[in-house]
Structure 1
């Protein structure tokens, strides 16, 4: 008997022929021909394969998002740790020397004197920092004039913003409209700054820089260009004997020691302030300014390397 098994859908190109060995009776003149149906993947198999691929892609997407989030978190932590004003030894407060406008070390306080909108943001930041010092907020009996006597108990020193001078006031646009910008400095410390040893090299630098502005009842502050080029940019068109007029400091003596140690947890505490005005900026030059409080911190670090006593910012007159 001749046997032929085949698939109705098979064509000549998809047929596979297989020969069977003749049986023992040897009565068949021809070998058995069998049509073998090719393997067909069912619809359910395709659906299952696609589902597996989709799951793999979803998993890879989730992993990619997690990796990007981790990298962003590391970047944020690095930026915060790199900012000297972020040092917070006791937690909860912004310690050290702080400058306003507050733009960070990588940004620039740029402005055009004849365009109010170019420096309005900088003015707003200074005014926001000065708001707690307005006369309306100084009505508490706990505020005293520390120039007249030492504070006692929970008393706090009062700081009057008119002590910052007329040139660096709102009425003068904080100097921006005249091309002579003012930067507000604030010193927040939970301890009393240590005085500089008069026999040290630091004292020699202090005296050479501060000169007659030094006062034993104050902490002296200096600001200057970070590099030689920056120093020249701050003294544009000034003869070298007149270098001291490139910047003015108000109050000239610096931060009063009477404010320290301070209770920064007290809501009415006012940290001391001073204004620095840059009067001879070279136009169209990005200039990095470094300000230093000339005192020793509680760890005995020199002011030049202390993160609490240094701050820097960039100026550009356009």
Structure 2
């Protein structure tokens, strides 16, 4: 009997057909939870330094995000309340300008208003206090003279050129307020017959001086001025945005060296007197976040005979509030 060509085909001599073969046996690798944990621990151990650095960076990032979120969410607490205090013209210390319209210590402004108003009240205030420093007001040689640290005519007024207060802080530029980079004018008031020099070792104020100023020798011709946020929160707000100074500075000083120290000297007090001053520009304000500022003139006072006067730091405090519409 011949073979049936339709029978299932086989490839060997066992006479087994395809249907007689079962599915192949599947083998599985088994891992216990313990071995997985060991492998994870081993991997973390090998990359311990990277893990630590990554954890620190993530923690700091989360902290910064939380702080900014809380600050932004609670921005109403950063708005003027009306109880911040009143502006005053002290007889000894720094005085700030412009004078706010409500005579408070809060310089509150809307940048867009400076594009609509010919002369904003804040601009008028600064124009008034800086008018005497214009070069045209100091031309009379009978009344004015050019002074330095070693020469100052007793019967004449020392010239203080307006140009030292910076090109950015001018009436033509709205003193920076139209661009939300406000300039604040700090003027030093001292009693008659009192002189001032930079703080140096031996002064009762030496231990309070800014560490940055201790690292460099004092300039006898200038009194350094610094402005900082009054609290850590204020400093955080200032530093949360990039500054627009030439070197990304958030706070600019004009002149950079500070106040002219030789202007307060033995002089004829019946004559006109241009007080030493410095213009300070803030370039990193956040909208609707009030920032409290404390400025210090790091100077030691002396009597006319050279005796050191015991006194507190020469300071002023104010707040800035920019409201972008």
TM-score normalised by the chain length of structure 1: 0.62
d(CA) in 2 for partners of 1:232, 1:243: 19
Query: Where do residues 126-275 of structure 1 align in structure 2 (5 Å cutoff)?
Result: 126-141=126-141, 142-147=143-148, 150-189=151-190, 190=192, 191-198=194-201, 202-203=205-206, 206-210=209-213, 214-238=218-242, 245-261=249-265, 263=267, 265-275=269-279
Q: Deviations over 1:140-192 (max 9, x none)?
A: 22312223851122122101111111111122211111110000111122211
> Shift in Å at residue 248 of structure 1?
0.6
d(CA) in 2 for partners of 1:292, 1:195: 12
Question: Does the residue aligned with 2:196 lie in a helix, a strand or coil?
Answer: coil
Count of equivalent residues: 225
- Asked whether the equivalents of residues 87 and 104 of structure 2 are also in contact (C-alpha less than 8 Å), the reply is no
Unaligned runs of 5+ in 2: 1-82, 303-308
The answer for the alignment partner of 1:125 in structure 2 is 125
d(CA) in 1 for partners of 2:321, 2:262: 35
> Shift in Å at residue 266 of structure 1?
3.0
The answer for the alignment partner of 1:280 in structure 2 is 284
With 143-152 and 205-214 compared, the bigger mean Cα shift is at 205-214
Tell me, yes or no, if structure 1 residue 100 matches structure 2 residue 85. Answer: no
Tell me, yes or no, if structure 1 residue 316 matches structure 2 residue 321. Answer: yes
Query: Where do residues 13-52 of structure 1 align in structure 2 (5 Å cutoff)?
Result: none
TM-score normalised by the chain length of structure 2: 0.61
Unaligned runs of 5+ in 1: 1-78, 89-94, 304-308
CA separation of 1:212 and 1:284: change in aligned 2, threshold 3 A = farther
Question: Does the residue aligned with 1:123 lie in a helix, a strand or coil?
Answer: helix
Question: Does the residue aligned with 1:296 lie in a helix, a strand or coil?
Answer: strand
Q: Deviations over 1:264-297 (max 9, x none)?
A: 8434211112100001112111111111111234
> Shift in Å at residue 107 of structure 1?
4.1
Q: Deviations over 1:230-264 (max 9, x none)?
A: 1122223249xx99811010111111121012658
CA separation of 1:139 and 1:223: change in aligned 2, threshold 3 A = same
CA separation of 1:194 and 1:216: change in aligned 2, threshold 3 A = closer
Which entry has the higher C-alpha Rg, 1 or 2?
A: 1
The answer for the alignment partner of 1:112 in structure 2 is 110
The answer for the alignment partner of 1:65 in structure 2 is none
CA separation of 1:266 and 1:136: change in aligned 2, threshold 3 A = farther
Tell me, yes or no, if structure 1 residue 301 matches structure 2 residue 304. Answer: no
d(CA) in 1 for partners of 2:186, 2:211: 22
d(CA) in 1 for partners of 2:87, 2:105: 15
Q: Deviations over 1:50-80 (max 9, x none)?
A: xxxxxxxxxxxxxxxxxxxxxxxxxxxxx9x
What is the RMSD of the two structures over their aligned residues, measured on CA atoms?
3.2
> Shift in Å at residue 105 of structure 1?
7.9
CA separation of 1:294 and 1:264: change in aligned 2, threshold 3 A = farther
